[in-house]
Amino acid sequence: MGLLKKAIWFTYLGTAACLYTAHAGADQLVQFESAAVKPTPFQERNAQRNGQVLKASPGTMLKGYLTRPQGNGPFPAIVVLHGCAGILPSVKETWPERLSSWGYAVLVVDSFSTRGIHDTCHGLFVDRVYDAYGALEFLSKYSFVDPQRIALMGFSAGGIATLEAVQLGGAEQLMERQFKAAIAYYPICSAANGDMAVPTLILAGELDDWSPAQKCRKMMTQRSGKGSPVQLDVYSGARHAFDTPEFKTGIEAYGHRLEYNAAAADQSISDVRVFLRRVFGD
């Protein structure tokens, strides 16, 4: 068990238990495959020059948690990617309940359990981009989902994967379906160049020492201007995981401070709702 998970377990066992059981039965456990990893056009050209044929690597079977609003739809939908420590109660319960109350179907992707991974807080895990697109393909087939209105939303490491997934000219160009919007909570913005294929909202804490807001500001100044609009919201006094109620009492993990900030959380939730309404026209 990683350091962050241990901190959550010992400090927030009671809170997590309450959050997991309060909404019990509302989520449907589903299974689907991550998207196949396809060779890029550059890789294919190199292979052809050498007389080789590259094939896509098959996807990995994943688990997820599906929540839908009341009614028949079709509803806009959100694919959610968790952070480096796995699925926290706020990601599995609080956000899906909130988003479904706004009229969105929600699929929370579990990138770890079927792979036997406990955490990836020591580094990046690039396969999660393909997890996102596998979830998109899976979610698009439900009759109660509007396949033309699906956004991607990620937290921390999931936020990094979100930016990578919608970066202009990246994995998105290899996929049959594309997301229509993206929301990244406290990602490390240096992993992206800032040119996005879809409207993107980035939410960062001013005092975040794990995913510094300054890197996001720098990314914004270096954007080429190509692609879709990108909005960066930086919240005063907020640290990493500022929207996460599990961290009402701040903790140190991997040398970084994680702490809930009610004012920043509330404002970010409002900003997310406004952004989704603007993008989807609700």
For residue range 240-275, list pLDDT tens digits in order: 999 999 999 999 988 899 999 999 999 999 999 999
Calculate helix-pair angle for 157-166, 128-140, nearest 10 degrees: 70
3-state class (DSSP) for residue 180: coil
Residue type for position 281:
G
Average pLDDT, the chain: 87
Q: What's the whole-model pTM score? A: 0.87
Q: Is the dihedral of CA 145, 147, 148, 154 positive or negative?
A: positive
Tens digits of residue pLDDT in 14-34: 333 333 333 333 479 999 999
Q: State residue 14's pLDDT score.
A: 37
Q: What is the pLDDT of residue 161?
A: 96
Q: Residue 140: is its pLDDT beyond 80? A: yes
The dihedrals phi and psi of 234, each to the nearest 5 degrees, come to -110, 130
pLDDT in tens, 29-55: 999 999 987 655 555 566 566 665 445
Residues 208/253, Cβ–Cβ less than 8 Å: no
